[in-house]
Amino acid sequence: MKSDLYKRRLVLFTGKGGVGKTTVASAFALSCAKRGMKTLLMQVNAKDRIGAIFNQDPIGEEMVELGPNLYCVNSTPASAMREYALMTLKIKIIYRAVFENKIVQSFLNAIPGISELVLLGKAYYHAAVEKRGKKRRWDIVVLDAPATGHGIFLLKIPSVVTSIIESGHMFEEAERMKAMLEDPEFTSVNIVTLLEDLPINESKMLSETLQEELNIAVDYIFANKVLSNPFTEEEENTLHRLEDSDTLLDSLFQSARFHGARVASQKKYADILKEKIDCFTIEIPYFFDGADRAEQIEKISKIISTQLNQTGEVE
């Protein structure tokens, strides 16, 4: 059954580095905001690209409004730890005495996975806990998660914590996060890929790890930079026969033939993707003038919304 991403509280995007994960996460978040949903687009300890996408200054630890209903933050382990500690201790002077103590800081930095746990805890807080008055502050939190290896570790850390400690506040927090990630009605994990050999194989490994080891379902595969074929079959056959003594024309013919070959290659890999991963695929076209500009993110957000509607599960 296809999932309605717009009904989830936390939607994550991960995948191989360089496949356009941040672009897709940004476009989906924009599509949520355009539906009137109060949306938080969240990065975790990332080298910011979202600010440039939306023609803003680099996004840091302070929340920034990107547009109507759309906000963004780039959480770091230090900022997440500070906010978590303040929520727990309530009083700033106690926080400073405890967490700004160099010995305590050294101890915390030495705990494996503590950075990932507090970053995931920050996402959990925004998606499940944070309120303004009697209402939830956010209708949906979109997490631009780290690339495959670090992304798996981020999502695995609650299971690691609950496997090595049996009680206490950290155990309870990790259990809540683990339950949140495993709840398909609350959390949606989606993989971004390219229609190429290495990204598809890495996506298969990621999908199997999430579902078999972590009990986290994968909802959609987002195939990015998909080329369209502007030629009919007859025109393609003609292109292969054409040669011209004019250097410019001959270069154009070669470029057209190369484009056709890339389209054929992507079609082959699209079939391989369907065989390897049993998920519905959202296809995002290749934009020759760049996909990181605000106007292109707007186009991609509409494409994502339209294709999700076409699955028959989104109202």
Q: Give me the residue spans of the domains in the chain.
A: 5-227+278-310
54's CB contacts (< 8 A; 6+ apart) are 26, 66, 67, 72, 294, 297
Distance CA 70, CA 202 (A): 31
- Give every residue of the chain whose pLDDT is below 70, as ranges: 1-2, 82, 84-113, 230-259, 290-292, 311-315
Q: β-pairing, 39-44 with 70-75?
A: parallel
What pLDDT sits at residue 103?
45
Nearest to 4 by CA among 279, 246, 219: 219
Q: CATH code for 5-227+278-310?
A: 3.40.50.300
pTM: 0.85
Nearest to 203 by CA among 275, 304, 291: 275
36's CB contacts (< 8 A; 6+ apart) are 69
Alpha-carbon separation of residue 21 from 6, 14, 15, 50, 187 (angstroms): 18, 6, 7, 11, 17
Alpha-carbon separation of residue 186 from 30, 106, 181, 200 (angstroms): 20, 35, 8, 26
Q: At what angle do helices 92-99 and 102-109 cross, to 10 degrees?
A: 70
Q: At what angle do helices 294-310 and 21-34 cross, to 10 degrees?
A: 70
Per-residue pLDDT tens for 50-96?
A: 998 998 999 998 999 999 999 999 988 777 776 765 555 444 544 45
Alpha-carbon separation of residue 112 from 13, 49, 117 (angstroms): 24, 28, 10
What pLDDT sits at residue 237?
61
What pLDDT sits at residue 86?
53
Distance CA 304, CA 23 (A): 12
What pLDDT sits at residue 43?
93
176's CB contacts (< 8 A; 6+ apart) are 124, 128
- Three-state helix/strand/coil letters over the chain: CCCCHHHCCEEEEEECCCCCHHHHHHHHHHHHHHCCCCEEEEEECCCCCHHHHCCCCCCCCCCEEEECCEEEEEECHHHHHHHHHHHHHCCHHHHHHHHCCHHHHHHHHCCCCHHHHHHHHHHHHHHHHCEECCEECCCEEEEECCCHHHHHHHHHHHHHHHHHCCCCHHHHHHHHHHHHHHCCCCEEEEEEEECCHHHHHHHHHHHHHHHHHCCCCEEEEEEEEECCCCCCHHHHHHHHHCCCCCHHHHHHHHHHHHHHHHHHHHHHHHHHHHHHCCCEEEEEECCCCCCCCHHHHHHHHHHHHHHHHHCCCCC
Count of CA atoms in the C-beta half-sphere (13 A) of 257: 13
241's CB contacts (< 8 A; 6+ apart) are none
What pLDDT sits at residue 108?
46
What pLDDT sits at residue 251?
67
